[in-house]
């Protein structure tokens, strides 16, 4: 099953990819994927869905299929994979999950604020008959901030941990 990464990242769920695990453990991505598949075949973890990530190297775009750990068992399963690949880095992956969860909560609160502000500004502008120029200004500001936060919520290949 192939999914687009932006479709998997929701406002209340942190995700981690096999690329994140590769960076933390220092293992090759193919080794990480093999470990995930092996552990899933043994029934130790659930096989996570895959997504296509774009990686830009020397001004060339490369597509990489990655596993995406998301949902209720994501943390557990990704920790098992890391422990299998590199037990000494288990603490690093726990720290990474803590970071992702904190970042996600902060961005979610910011997104909710700007979405609510846009609804309020629309209501006030319509009700009080504020000038069209002022409404365009607030709409552009609000929607610009909403898009900026949504972009920050997207995982990007090659992000340094």
- Phi–psi pair at 51, nearest 5 degrees: -145, 160
Asked if 36 contacts 45 with a C-beta cutoff of 8 angstroms, the reply is yes
Candidate ranges 41-45, 78-82, 113-117, 124-128; pick with highest mean pLDDT: 41-45
Tell me, what's the pLDDT at 132?
62
With tokens 């590769």, the residue in question is 22
Asked if 14 contacts 100 with a C-beta cutoff of 8 angstroms, the reply is yes
Please tell me the distance from the alpha carbon of residue 14 to that of residue 136, in angstroms, as a whole number: 34
Predicted model pTM: 0.53
CA distances for 142 relative to 16, 58, 114, 153, angstroms: 29, 35, 6, 17
Strand 15-17 to 2-4 pairing: unpaired
What is the tens place of the pLDDT at every residue in 107-144? 888 888 888 888 877 776 655 555 666 667 777 787 88
């Amino acid at each position: 099953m192939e999914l687009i990464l932006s479709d998997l990242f929701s406002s209340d769920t942190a995700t981690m990819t096999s690329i994140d695990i590769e960076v933390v453990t220092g293992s090759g991505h193919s080794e990480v994927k093999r470990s995930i598949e092996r552990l899933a075949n043994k029934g130790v973890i659930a096989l996570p869905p895959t997504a296509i990530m774009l990686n830009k190297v020397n001004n060339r775009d490369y597509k990489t299929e990655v596993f995406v750990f998301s949902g209720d068992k994501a943390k557990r399963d990704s920790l098992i994979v890391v422990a299998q690949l590199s037990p000494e880095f288990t603490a690093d992956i726990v720290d990474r999950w803590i970071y992702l969860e904190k970042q996600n909560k902060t961005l979610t609160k910011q997104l909710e604020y700007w979405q609510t502000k846009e609804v309020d500004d629309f209501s006030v502008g319509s009700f009080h008959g504020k000038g069209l120029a002022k409404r365009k200004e607030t709409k552009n500001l609000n929607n610009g901030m909403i898009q900026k936060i949504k972009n920050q919520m997207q995982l990007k290949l090659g992000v340094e941990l």
